[in-house]
């Protein structure tokens, strides 16, 4: 995966397959401390300790349609090659948290990518799942919470094309306002 947003998409796909109804995605850019952190937390079924260890093996997957699972191993590798770190915390019935820290200025750090497009794709593809996307950039923040959006929409479905376009533009404007990805 060439952009970190694609890793985020892959991991949230895992979360939805694990029955998550709420997925929190947090991206923190701290240029002073030279850190980029991606944190994804879900309320899905979680994993047993032995499954967590196997989840970082590219030749292990719980998916039935393919024999390899590259999302977590690729994100772990991407973090580690930038002098960062990678952790998974999970428990059966308690959900999962994935944290990837990167040295922000490292030459080998992949670009974050198109977060507005990634979030729009996740929301459109999973209208029954709630997402909270928070992006912090050097002390300034932007948050999108689909629970709040759904309240405002009343009878209009969140996956309606005009709503998805509005969400995408809202995220793009919000990230621009906080100076994310500079």
Q: What is the pLDDT of residues 5-36, one digit of tens each?
A: 999 999 999 999 999 999 999 999 999 999 99
The tens digit of pLDDT for each residue in 58-72 reads 665 554 444 335 788
> DSSP letters along 63-92, please?
-SS-S---HHHHHHHHHHTTT-EEEEEEET
The tens digit of pLDDT for each residue in 132-151 reads 999 999 999 999 999 999 99
Kindly provide the residue ranges of all beta strands, DSSP E only, lying in the chain, ordered along the sequence: 22-30, 35-42, 85-91, 95-103, 130-137, 140-145
pTM over 0.85? The answer is yes
> In the chain, where are the structural domains located?
4-178
Half-sphere exposure of 130 (CA within 13 A, CB side): 11
Task: From residue 162, give the alpha-carbon distance in Å to each of 78, 118, 131, 158.
Answer: 35, 16, 18, 9
CATH no. for 4-178: 3.30.565.10
């Amino acid at each position: 995966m060439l952009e970190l947003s694609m890793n985020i998409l892959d991991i949230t796909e895992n979360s939805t397959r694990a029955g998550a109804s709420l997925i929190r995605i947090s991206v923190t850019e701290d240029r002073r401390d030279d850190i980029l952190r991606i944190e994804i937390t879900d309320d899905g079924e979680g994993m047993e300790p032995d499954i967590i260890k196997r989840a970082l093996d590219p030749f292990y997957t719980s998916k039935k349609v393919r024999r390899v699972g590259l999302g977590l191993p690729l994100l772990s590798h991407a973090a580690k090659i930038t002098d960062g770190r990678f952790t998974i915390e999970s428990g059966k019935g308690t959900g999962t948290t994935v944290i990837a820290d990167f040295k922000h200025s490292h030459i080998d750090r992949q670009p974050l990518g198109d977060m507005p497009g990634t979030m729009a794709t996740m929301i459109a593809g999973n209208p029954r799942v709630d997402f909270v996307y928070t992006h912090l950039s050097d002390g300034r923040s932007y948050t999108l919470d689909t629970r709040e959006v759904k309240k405002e929409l009343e009878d209009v479905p969140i996956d309606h094309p005009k709503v998805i376009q509005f969400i995408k533009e809202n995220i793009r404007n919000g990230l621009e306002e906080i100076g994310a990805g500079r």
